[in-house]
Structure 1
Amino acid sequence: MNDDELLRRLEAFGGFGDADDGNDADVADNGNVQDDGVDDDADQPAHFDVNEFLAGLDAIFDAHEAATKAGPYLEQAAVDAENAGDNAGLLTVLNETMGFYRSQGLHKENQWIIQRALELAAKMGLEGTEAWTTTLINAATGQRAAHNYDQAEELYHMALDSAKQTLSPTDRRLAALHNNLSMLYSETDRLPQAEAELREALGILESSSPDANANIDVASTNTNLALTLLGEHKLDEADAHAARALDIYRNGHLEHSAHYASALAGYAQVRYVAGDFAHAVDLYRQSLAVIEECYGTDTDYYRITEANLKQAEDAARQAGVEVGGAASSAVISSEHSESSNLSSRETHDSGTAGASAGEDFSAPLRSGRNDSEIAPHSDRNDRETAPHSSQSVSSRPRITGLKLARAYWNEIGKPMIAAKYPEYQGRIAAGLVGHGSECYGFDDAISQDHDFGPRFCLWLTDEDYAAIGERLQADYEALPHEFMGYARADDGTVTPRAQGAGRRDGVFTIGDFFESITGYRKAPAADRPHEWLMLDEPTLAAATNGEVFADPLGAFSAARQAFKFMPDDVRLSLISRRLGMMAQAGQYNVPRMLERGDGAAAWLSIGEFADAAASLVYLMNEPVTIGYLPYYKWRFAALRRLSTRVATRLANVCDQLESLLRLSSAACYGGAGFGEGGRGAAPAVAQVNETIERICGEVVAELKREGLTRSDDTFLEWQRPYVEEHIRGDAACLRSI
Structure 2
Amino acid sequence: MDINQVLIEYDQMFGKYSLQEIENFLTVKIKEAYEQKEYFAAVTLLNEIMGFCRDTGQKEKGIGYCEQVIQLMKELQLEKTVEYATTLLNVANAYRAFGRLEQSMKNYQYVEKIYTNQLPFGSFHYASLYNNWSLLYQEMGDFRGAEKMLQKALQVVDQYPEAIIEQATTRTNLAVTLLRISCEENDKSEEESQQIYNRAMDYLRQALDRYEKDGGQNFHYSAALSAMGDALYMKENYRESVQYYNKAMKELERHVGKTDAYRRIEQNYKDACKKSEELLNRKQFHNNMERCKAFYEQYGKNSIREQFPEYENRIAVGLVGQGSDCFGFDDVISGDHDYEIGFCMWLCKEDYEKIGNELRQAYEKLVLEHESEFYDSSNEEYQRKRKVSDSRRKGVFSIDVFYEQILGIPLDFECLKENGWKLSKEQWKQIPEQNLAVAVNGTVFRDDLGIFTAIREKIKAYYPESVWMLKLADQIHQFSQNGQYNYARMMARNDFVTAQICVAQAMKHAMSIAYILSKTYAPYYKWMRKGLEYLPVLSELGSVLDEIAVMENQASAWKGRVYHSYERNCLDSIVVSFEKIAALILSELNQQKIVNGTELFLDEYCKEIVVKAADRKEELIERIIQLEWSQFDKVKNEDGRADCQDDWNTFSLMRKSQYLAWTKELLNSYCSDLMEADRKGWNLIMEKYARMMESTSAERYAKIKDHLPERSKERIAIQEEIIKIQVEWMEAFAKKYPNMAKNARSIHSHEDTLFNTSYETYLRGELGTYSRETLILYGRFIVSVKQQGENLAYIIMNHTAKLYGYKSVEDAENKLT
Question: Residue 609 in 1 paired to residue 506 in 2?
Answer: yes
Q: What is the SS of the residue equivalent to 1:651?
A: coil
Change in 2 beyond 3 A, CA 1:85/1:609: closer
Q: What is the SS of the residue equivalent to 2:317?
A: strand
Q: Give the Cα–Cα distance (whole angstroms) in 1 for the partners of residues 507 and 530 of structure 2.
A: 14
Q: What is the SS of the residue equivalent to 2:280?
A: coil
Change in 2 beyond 3 A, CA 1:56/1:470: farther
Question: Residue 638 in 1 paired to residue 531 in 2?
Answer: yes
The answer for the alignment partner of 2:549 in structure 1 is: 661
The answer for the alignment partner of 1:704 in structure 2 is: 590
Determine if contact 1:517/1:539 at 8 Å carries over to the other structure.
Answer: yes
Per mean C-alpha deviation after superposition, the further-off stretch among 423-432 and 405-414 is: 423-432
Determine if contact 2:154/2:167 at 8 Å carries over to the other structure.
Answer: no
The answer for the alignment partner of 2:72 in structure 1 is: none
Question: Residue 465 in 1 paired to residue 459 in 2?
Answer: no
TM-score normalised by length of structure 2: 0.46
The answer for the alignment partner of 2:473 in structure 1 is: 576
The answer for the alignment partner of 1:689 in structure 2 is: 575
Amino acid at match of 1:687: S
The answer for the alignment partner of 1:442 in structure 2 is: 329
Amino acid at match of 1:519: G
The answer for the alignment partner of 1:621 in structure 2 is: 518
Aligned 1:165-244 pairs, distance under 5 A? none
Q: CA deviation at 1:462?
A: 2.5
The answer for the alignment partner of 2:394 in structure 1 is: 505
The answer for the alignment partner of 2:295 in structure 1 is: 408
Task: Pick the structure with more helix per residue.
Answer: 2
Q: What is the SS of the residue equivalent to 1:548?
A: strand
Q: Give the Cα–Cα distance (whole angstroms) in 1 for the partners of residues 428 and 553 of structure 2.
A: 39
The answer for the alignment partner of 2:482 in structure 1 is: 585
Aligned 1:46-195 pairs, distance under 5 A? 57-61=51-55, 62=57, 63=59, 65-66=96-97, 72-73=131-132, 87=162, 90=163, 109-119=203-213, 121=214, 134=217, 146=228
Q: Give the Cα–Cα distance (whole angstroms) in 1 for the partners of residues 603 and 161 of structure 2.
A: 36
Question: Residue 557 in 1 paired to residue 444 in 2?
Answer: no
Q: Give the Cα–Cα distance (whole angstroms) in 2 for the partners of residues 699 and 80 of structure 1.
A: 19
Change in 2 beyond 3 A, CA 1:529/1:703: same
Change in 2 beyond 3 A, CA 1:596/1:83: closer
Q: What is the SS of the residue equivalent to 1:112?
A: helix
The answer for the alignment partner of 1:351 in structure 2 is: 274
Q: What is the SS of the residue equivalent to 1:713?
A: coil
Q: Give the Cα–Cα distance (whole angstroms) in 2 for the partners of residues 58 and 560 of structure 1.
A: 42
Per mean C-alpha deviation after superposition, the further-off stretch among 713-722 and 533-542 is: 533-542
Q: CA deviation at 1:351?
A: 3.2
Q: Give the Cα–Cα distance (whole angstroms) in 1 for the partners of residues 11 and 161 of structure 2.
A: 17
Cα displacement string for residues 224-273 of structure 1 (whole angstroms, at most 9, x for unaligned residues):
xxxxxxxxxxxxxxxxxxxxxxxxxxxxxxxxx649x96xxxxxxxxxxx
Cα displacement string for residues 266-290 of structure 1 (whole angstroms, at most 9, x for unaligned residues):
xxxxxxxxxxxxxxxxxxxxxxxxx
Q: Give the Cα–Cα distance (whole angstroms) in 2 for the partners of residues 570 and 607 of structure 1.
A: 25
Change in 2 beyond 3 A, CA 1:579/1:505: same
Change in 2 beyond 3 A, CA 1:469/1:599: same
Q: Give the Cα–Cα distance (whole angstroms) in 1 for the partners of residues 310 and 220 of structure 2.
A: 34
Amino acid at match of 2:52: D
Q: CA deviation at 1:426?
A: 2.6
Q: Give the Cα–Cα distance (whole angstroms) in 2 for the partners of residues 569 and 546 of structure 1.
A: 27
Amino acid at match of 2:131: P
Change in 2 beyond 3 A, CA 1:83/1:716: closer
Cα displacement string for residues 60-114 of structure 1 (whole angstroms, at most 9, x for unaligned residues):
4344744988992399999799699795xx5676798899999999986443233
Amino acid at match of 1:553: L
The answer for the alignment partner of 1:420 in structure 2 is: 307
Q: Which of the numbers 333, 357, 366 marks the counterpart of 1:479?
A: 366
Cα displacement string for residues 150-209 of structure 1 (whole angstroms, at most 9, x for unaligned residues):
xxxxxxxxxxxxxxxxxxxxxxxxxxxxxxxxx969989xxxxxxxxx9xx9xxx9xxxx
Aligned residues: 446
Amino acid at match of 1:638: G
Determine if contact 1:583/1:715 at 8 Å carries over to the other structure.
Answer: yes
Q: CA deviation at 1:581?
A: 0.6
Determine if contact 2:279/2:285 at 8 Å carries over to the other structure.
Answer: no
Change in 2 beyond 3 A, CA 1:348/1:622: farther
The answer for the alignment partner of 1:545 in structure 2 is: 441
Q: Which runs of 5+ in 2 are unaligned?
A: 1-6, 14-42, 60-93, 105-127, 135-149, 180-199, 231-241, 562-567, 618-817
Amino acid at match of 2:306: A
Q: Give the Cα–Cα distance (whole angstroms) in 1 for the partners of residues 447 and 220 of structure 2.
A: 22
Q: CA deviation at 1:584?
A: 0.8
Q: CA deviation at 1:457?
A: 0.8
Q: What is the SS of the residue equivalent to 1:710?
A: coil
Amino acid at match of 1:636: R
Change in 2 beyond 3 A, CA 1:591/1:431: same
Q: Give the Cα–Cα distance (whole angstroms) in 2 for the partners of residues 702 and 615 of structure 1.
A: 14
Q: What is the SS of the residue equivalent to 1:589?
A: helix
Determine if contact 2:538/2:584 at 8 Å carries over to the other structure.
Answer: yes
Determine if contact 2:289/2:328 at 8 Å carries over to the other structure.
Answer: yes
Q: CA deviation at 1:557?
A: 2.5
Amino acid at match of 1:542: V
Cα displacement string for residues 441-479 of structure 1 (whole angstroms, at most 9, x for unaligned residues):
222222212211211111222233233222111110111
Q: What is the SS of the residue equivalent to 2:396?
A: strand
Q: Give the Cα–Cα distance (whole angstroms) in 2 for the partners of residues 581 and 50 of structure 1.
A: 56
Aligned 1:298-313 pairs, distance under 5 A? none
Q: Give the Cα–Cα distance (whole angstroms) in 2 for the partners of residues 52 and 518 of structure 1.
A: 59
Q: Give the Cα–Cα distance (whole angstroms) in 1 for the partners of residues 244 and 591 of structure 2.
A: 39
Q: Which of the numbers 705, 723, 726 marks the counterpart of 2:609?
A: 723
Change in 2 beyond 3 A, CA 1:433/1:687: same
The answer for the alignment partner of 1:21 in structure 2 is: none
Change in 2 beyond 3 A, CA 1:554/1:420: same
Structure with larger Rg: 2
Q: What is the SS of the residue equivalent to 1:430?
A: strand
Cα displacement string for residues 542-585 of structure 1 (whole angstroms, at most 9, x for unaligned residues):
11111222233333233222222122222221111111011111
Q: CA deviation at 1:537?
A: 2.5
Q: Give the Cα–Cα distance (whole angstroms) in 2 for the partners of residues 528 and 660 of structure 1.
A: 39
Amino acid at match of 2:437: A
Determine if contact 2:473/2:606 at 8 Å carries over to the other structure.
Answer: yes
Q: CA deviation at 1:424?
A: 2.7
Q: Give the Cα–Cα distance (whole angstroms) in 1 for the partners of residues 201 and 540 of structure 2.
A: 22
Question: Residue 649 in 1 paired to residue 537 in 2?
Answer: yes
TM-score normalised by length of structure 1: 0.51
Question: Residue 519 in 1 paired to residue 405 in 2?
Answer: no
Q: Give the Cα–Cα distance (whole angstroms) in 1 for the partners of residues 52 and 155 of structure 2.
A: 18
Determine if contact 2:228/2:244 at 8 Å carries over to the other structure.
Answer: no
Question: Residue 599 in 1 paired to residue 496 in 2?
Answer: yes
Change in 2 beyond 3 A, CA 1:503/1:654: same
Q: What is the SS of the residue equivalent to 2:515?
A: helix
Q: Which runs of 5+ in 1 are unaligned?
A: 1-26, 34-48, 122-131, 149-182, 189-197, 206-215, 221-256, 263-294, 305-344, 353-379, 388-396, 732-737
Change in 2 beyond 3 A, CA 1:573/1:556: same
The answer for the alignment partner of 1:453 in structure 2 is: 340
Cα displacement string for residues 27-77 of structure 1 (whole angstroms, at most 9, x for unaligned residues):
9677669xxxxxxxxxxxxxxx99898656435434474498899239999
Q: What is the SS of the residue equivalent to 1:503?
A: coil
